[in-house]
Structure 1
Amino acid sequence: MKVKKYILTLFIVMLAFYPFTDGTKQQTAIATDEYAQLGISINKILQDERLDGATTGVSIRKANSGELIYAHFGETRLHPASNMKLLTGAAALETLGENYRFSTEVLSDGTVKAGMLSGDLYLKGKGDPTLLKQDFDIFAKDLAARGIKKINGNLIGDDTWYDDVRLSQDITWTDESYYYAAQVSALTASPNADYDAGTVIVEAHPNSIVGEPAKIKVLPETDLVNIINRSKTVPAGEVKDITIERQHGSNNIIIEGTVPAGGTVTREWIAIWEPSYYALDLFKTSLEEQGIKFVGKHKITLGKTPSDAQLLTFKNSMALKELFIPFMKLSNNGHAEVLAKEMGKVVYGEGSWEKGLQVIEENSEEMGLNMETIMIRDASGMSHVNLIPSNEVTNLLVAVQNEPWYNTFLSSLPVAGISDRFTGGTLRNRMKTEPTVGNVKAKTGTLTAVSALSGYATTKDGELLTFSVLINNDLAAVTPIEDQIATAIASYTKPK
């Protein structure tokens, strides 16, 4: 009996290590003997025809030791999509700290006399992606409380905390109109508490009169954008086919297509061209709403704050550990790129992608990642040139557990099947049953022909494992395959 048991175990281990083939394709994988059955389960999942022609990297490690217990093309470099944010997030927590805050300042080089500020008013941004219209309202109220009623000078936005490169190098024209590829500036604003900095929300409401254009609403209201409305309201029941896009190189927002009468609202988050002027426009509106007027000839422009300018008011953002919730749960690309520039500014005195990515690379290497097999081109994962093996992703997930900020990192990951947006995040509608619901905590990633899921799952035995699934060159919906792999991990029980 012992001999038969030994032979059976050896056979299972060989199946886990040996190329698994269905006659049409070959998949190679390795697994340790203790997890051989898990390896066989995952190998079967990877035979899904939706992966035909795709490349899939899978890596699983013991969280407590980092031992690699399963790998399928684990050393193959693949595009990580938003799994890149795992590296960026770890670097930001290590470099900036959980309690780091961005700041925004209002300064002047003038003097106040009899309610008149004689001199220029400066709005100096230092990267805060969380500024809302209400924050500019508070700035204006603070100035009014100082007795300022008129300004004889210019309104100047200072965005020199970072360089003037607005988009990372691999962003395409087809993306840059939308929130997920918004321009990065040290001076910016967000439309709501998702904090998609540098964007406005454009809503197209059906008109009550058929044949008339849709009614357009921009949130927050700003004179910076120019609405070109070519839409048409059609009879109820007809097809809704409407697009909302910004014209390249301008803030012309073009609405085209049809909206059925009595139908639903169409809503898009549109990226602003030159968001520094967006923040300035909102601030000017807030000043006017507080009764503060500009007198004489004046300009609204960009410039650098003089070193002798006096601070009038300021705002510090929420702590980084709070910002990590919308950043990671909702996979906010803008936050990732701002964090990169901020790390470059703090470590090397230069708020650029070059220096920010250098910090991410250096931190990743310190975490034990093999940087000779990794290519980093941006901080968010938008680039199709980023490359990382799944084995290095799980390597990072093991390493961060030893850091004092690990709980912040872990808490920021989307949680499978939990409906609350700021808990479940991008996993709120996936893996909604046992044993994955509330168990799998992982970062999603999606690009054209790229899908990824990497994080943590606890087995039926109570063992915490880290995993990474990177799928490239897919032409079908492959997130169910990622979910099946995560479910196989969460369902796994070691043989007795």
Structure 2
Amino acid sequence: MSSRCKYYMLIITIMVITASIPSIKVNAMDGHEILAQQINQLINNDPALNGAIAGISIRSAADGKIIYDHQGDVRLRPASNMKLITAAAALNILGENYTFVTEVLTDGPMKKKTLNGSLYLKGKGDPTLLKSDFDQIAVEIKKHGIKKINGNIVGDDTWYDDVRYSLDLPWSDEMTHYGAQISALTASPTQDYDAGSVKVVVQPATRKGDKPIVKMTPKTNYLKIVNHAVTGAEESKKNITIERVHAKNTITIKGTIPIKEKPEQDWIGVWDPTRYAMSLLKQSLTEHGIQVTGKLKTGMVPDTAKMLTTHHSIPLSELLVPFMKLSNNVHAEILIKEMGKVKGKGSWENGLKVLNSELVKFGVNPKTLVLRDGSGVSHVNLIPANQLSQLLFAVQKEKWFSSYLQSLPVAGVPEKMIGGTLRNRLNDPLVRGRVKAKTGTISTVSSISGYVKTKSGQTLIFSILLNNLLEDTKGKKVEDRMLTIIANQ
């Protein structure tokens, strides 16, 4: 027999054997072929995914069984979907009722309403301290009969280590509120609790050519405003920039804001949040009639110091709302360090070790992950979609699950502390309110993972990780189309 005949005989044999094998439904299980077909068609045809990588995992919330999987075991950058892991571990280790404590102590005696010694402000990680809280601390100090402090204000931030930035934080994020320095002693401008930052609002003046009006929250002399901006004509284009100078607390404002334009606002991370918090306390003391003769210094509280007052944060169950709804990076990194501190040392290295050991309890395999921070800002973080969906399945049995679920953004709900980062997405009446999920965005990455109530009444768990995108906004549109398909099952 010739070699060509042998070749054809081999082909025919393969065809016969193949025909005898039952057909395999790729990616779809248990009658979800239509769902698989629709998602596969979207993946294959949407130009936003050309050259990109999509990891998708869909499970039944009832039994955890995977009903759709597209590259679900491929490690991908999760962006802020990393916070789903951080929040679950924090709830498990710290508990729903956990609060952060700030202590005020002194090492000197009081004589004739004068405290002859330093006042110590010891931070233990509270990211929710507001100017109003420092005012209350001042009131409590005044209740001790103190009208003068003949000493320094000393900030003690040694509850955590002195590493201020996570390993892979981009240098360009330094001045931003989402890249703010991590300290055990810090302060927030508003009840969004963007710890370690100030809110800056630029609004046009009443006359063209004048400098715009700049307002900072909280009002503080810790930062200096340099205003080079100008109020432009009504038809001019708004091009305001608000930037902090590297390693300094000088905020420079440049550009033009039209005379009737809406205010421009931004949140700017401060340099040295420890001294920022100390300066707010000194300001509150002065405003409440307590004179401070000394300076702002950093140091450790001596063993001989006596407690004057303490301040407790809101419980973790409440903190989760701004943390997850608004995707607060600083909260995530503080929780990592706090978990590390509970188990020994308040550092990223120790906190991430604790995090990895905790994940096993949720059926997540740490050996499949690369974790470098708690927020997901790192481009080195790698998580498979199937591991995220497994976490979301497992946490349903935890006693704290209601707090966890309540913290997730709700699709299409405009209220900031309900809709969160999903308040302007998935507004279709068929989907609105039926998706509760954590979003994620870093350069070239978009992600979303959570829970969806389908048209048929079942709850499905999903994780969608899109990497190597040219435009993350187009990736979000893909996610929304995909979630609409899932919701309408």
**What TM-score, normalized to structure 2?**
0.93
1:35 aligns with 2:19: no
Structure 1 residue aligned with 2:172, among 171, 174, 178?
Answer: 174
1:129 paired residue number:
127
Distance 1:315 1:100 in 2: 13
Cα displacement (A) at 1:344: 0.3
Query: Is the 1:173–1:248 contact (alpha carbons within 8 Å) kept by the matching residues of 2?
Result: no
Q: What CA deviation, in whole Å up to 9, does each residue of 1:203-240 have, x standing for no partner?
A: 11212332232222211111111212221222121001
Q: Could you tell me which amino acid in structure 2 is paired with residue 31 of structure 1?
A: A
1:359 and 1:246 map into 2 onto residues whose CA distance is 35
8 Å Cα contact 1:108/1:312 also seen in 2: yes
Unaligned runs of 5+ in 2: 1-18
CA shift at 1:387, angstroms? Answer: 0.3
Alignment of 1:378-417 (within 5 A): 378-417=373-412
Q: 2:430 maps to what in 1?
A: 435
Between the aligned partners of 2:167 and 2:321, the Cα distance in structure 1 is: 26
Equivalent AA in structure 1 for residue 447 of structure 2: A
Per-residue CA deviations over 1:388-430 (Å, capped at 9, x if unaligned) read 0111110111111111111111111111111111111111111
| Match of residue 59, structure 1, among 57, 60, 65 | 57
| Residues 1:190 and 2:185 aligned together | no
CA root-mean-square deviation? 1.4
Q: 1:465: how far off?
A: 1.1
Aligned counterpart for 1:377 among listed residues 363, 372, 375 = 372
CA deviations on 1:90-121 (whole Å, 9 max, x unpaired) are: 00000000000001011001111111000110
Check conservation: 1:16, 1:40, Cα contact below 8 A: no
Q: State the partner residue of 2:12.
A: none
Post-superposition offset of 1:33 = 4.1
Q: Relative to structure 1, is the Cα distance of residues 245 and 94 closer, same or farther in structure 2, using a 3 angstrom cutoff? A: same
| Identical positions, percent | 51
What amino acid is the match of 1:34? G
Deviations 1:132-173 (A, max 9, x none): 000000111111111101111111011111111111011112
How far off is 1:16 after superposition? Answer: 4.8
Distance change >3 Å, CA 223–CA 365, structure 1 → 2: same
Q: Is the 8 A contact 1:16 1:37 kept in 2?
A: no
Cα offset for 1:356?
0.9
Which residue of the partner structure matches residue 156 of structure 1?
Answer: 154
Amino acid at match of 1:163: D
One-letter amino acid of the structure 1 residue matched with residue 327 of structure 2: S
Runs of 4+ in structure 1 deviating by more than 4 angstroms, as ranges, are: 13-16
- Aligned position for 2:296: 300
Q: Secondary structure at the match of 2:35?
A: helix
Superposed counterparts of 1:292-371, under 5 Å? 292-295=290-293, 298-347=294-343, 349-371=344-366
8 A Cα contact 2:282 2:292, kept in partner: no
In the alignment, what sits opposite 1:90?
88
Tell me the secondary structure at the aligned position of residue 421 of structure 2. Answer: helix
Distance 1:361 1:320 in 2: 20
Alignment partners' CA distance in 2, 1:268 and 1:461 = 43
Name the counterpart of 2:476: 479
Count of aligned residue pairs for this structure pair:
466
Opposite residue 144 of structure 1, the aligned amino acid is K
Cα drift, residue 64 of structure 1: 1.8
Check conservation: 1:125, 1:188, Cα contact below 8 A: yes
1:45 aligns with one of 42, 45, 52: 42
Match of 2:212 in 1: 214
Quick check: 1:343–1:359 contact (8 Å CA) kept in 2? yes
Partner of 1:103: 101
Q: 1:68 offset after TM fit, Å?
A: 1.0
Structure 1, unaligned runs of 5 or more = 1-9, 18-29
SS in 2 for 1:170: coil
Separation (CA, whole Å) in 1 of partners of 2:429 and 2:66? 25
For residue 312 of structure 1, what is the amino acid of its counterpart?
Answer: L
Cα distance in structure 1, aligned partners of 2:81 and 2:150? 50
Structure 1 distance, partners of 2:279, 2:467, is 42
SS at match of 2:360: helix
- What secondary structure does 1:165 align onto? coil
Could you report, residue by residue, the CA deviation over 1:245-278 in whole angstroms, capped at 9, with x for unpaired residues?
A: 1111111111111111222211110000100111
SS state at 1:128 partner: coil
1:280 corresponding residue in structure 2: 278
CA distance in 1, matches of 2:160, 2:172: 25
* Contact 1:222 1:278 (8 Å CA) reproduced: no
String of CA shifts for 1:329-374, please: whole Å, max 9, x gaps: 1111111011000000011x21111111111111112211122221
